[in-house]
Amino acid sequence: MRINFGELVIGDIAKEYLQRVIDKNWASEGDNVKEFEEEFAAHFGYKHAIATSSGTDANICSCAALYDFGAKRGDEIITPALCFVATPNSILAAGFIPKFVDIELENLNIDPHKIEAAITDRTKAIMVVHTMGKPCDMDSILKIAQKYDLMVIEDACEAHGATYKGKVVGTIGDMGTFSFYTAHQIVCGEGGIVATDDDEIADVVRSVKSHGRPPDSIYFDFQRVGFNSKMNDMEAALGLEGIELFEKNFDKRKNNLYKLLELTKELSDYCYFIKEEEHEKISPHAFPLVLKDEKYDRDRLYNYLESKGIQCKTLFGSLPTQHKAFKFLNYQSGQFPVAEYVGKNGLHFGMHQYINDDDLVYISDSLKGYFKYF
């Protein structure tokens, strides 16, 4: 038995769009991508949706767009200390410096109370992450951004369809990014999107993702530094099916999340679990948990669940202090106590639409079997 973190199933709708690629002998960005952008924007209520080759590239293009709004190379972008590594990597790839801020334990998102202390005269944006599909405290973040004239980028790669106070994540700030990797709500295999309601931002992002050429320009007119970040029509074919099935799959994943939370509620003395507040709708990306005491031994739990066929991942960890990749930024252990605690004591596993009720009972029984020793 193996319960994977995510699954890719190519259905009849996707096969029809893939056949379009075959019939046209054109696999690069084309009609499928255009339709995918239009359908994604329409489904979630975004004015613009610009497809990219990955969620990481969506982040890079969003950051690089800041140069058109006064940013300079070497400026800073505030981001959470704990998140998937693509977020700070994207900041660096775009020519900026990530300025890390600790998170809140109860929601795994950036702590808005600690953002102002990280702002300097080099700060140009706040790049939040809706971790595990749970929306950040956007009211507090926007208030700070307005006070200091900062742009806000929402990394919503794990949060398709999540809402905060009735607003869908992605354009609560200036722009939002999404990923279509296998673990996510909409799957293209790879691929991403930048969403925005701002016409000027949309034009800049479209240019940045295609070598810095302005949209519909004559060839080889490079007006800004850009990248080759285009989605291809084969990926868009899978994504178009994902959009059509989104509500069905979202509801199934959400029901899986609710059921497993109910099945594991007796373990609340051992673990912190995700919680949905009245003002929000969580996107059911995965099932995270954080041990309430280090004596419960996260690594042992990880290996135990893997031995039961349940694919696990750690909860990212404190990127500036627990990962060698960011050592050059000279942060010191202890600067991000919450992120560091979660890094040592957190893990998550899949909650996708192909997990059935028997799987949920099996996962719950496995967790209970582990904690009975304590």
Summarize the confidence of residues 289-303 as an average pLDDT. Answer: 97
Q: Does residue 220 have a pLDDT over 90?
A: no
Does the domain formed by 247-371 have CATH 3.90.1150.10?
yes
| Cα-based distances in Å from 341 to 128, 228, 292, 316 | 20, 38, 10, 11
**pLDDT tops 80 at residue 34:** yes
- Mean pLDDT over all residues of the chain? 96
Would you place residue 183 in the very low, low, confident or very high pLDDT band (cuts 50, 70, 90)? Answer: confident
- The residue behind tokens 């019939």 is 23
Give residue-wise pLDDT tens across range 302-351.
999 999 999 999 999 999 999 999 999 999 999 999 999 999 999 999 99
pLDDT tens-digit map of 257-276: 999 999 999 999 999 999 99
DSSP state of 43: H
Does 280 have pLDDT greater than 90?
Answer: yes
Taking residues 196-201, report their average pLDDT: 98
Over the stretch 52-106, which tens digit does the pLDDT of each residue have? 999 999 999 999 999 999 999 999 999 999 999 999 999 999 999 999 999 999 9
- What three-state secondary structure class fits 57? helix
| H-run or E-run covering 64 | helix 55-64
How much of the chain exceeds pLDDT 70, in percent?
A: 99
Within the chain, all domains assigned CATH 3.40.640.10 are found at 12-244
Q: Evaluate if residue 117 carries a pLDDT over 90.
A: yes
pLDDT at 219: 73
Q: Which DSSP symbol is given to 295?
A: G
Three-class secondary structure of residue 271 per DSSP:
strand
Checking if the pLDDT of 215 tops 80, the result is no
Q: Place 214 in a pLDDT band, splitting at 50, 70 and 90.
A: confident
Sheet with 271-273, side-by-side order of all strands: 271-273, 286-291, 346-350, 312-314
**DSSP category for residue 136:** P
**CATH 3.90.1150.10: which residues of the chain?**
247-371
Instruction: Return the CATH number of 12-244, one of 3.40.640.10, 3.30.300.180, 3.30.210.10, 3.40.228.10.
Output: 3.40.640.10
Decide if pLDDT at 229 tops 80. yes
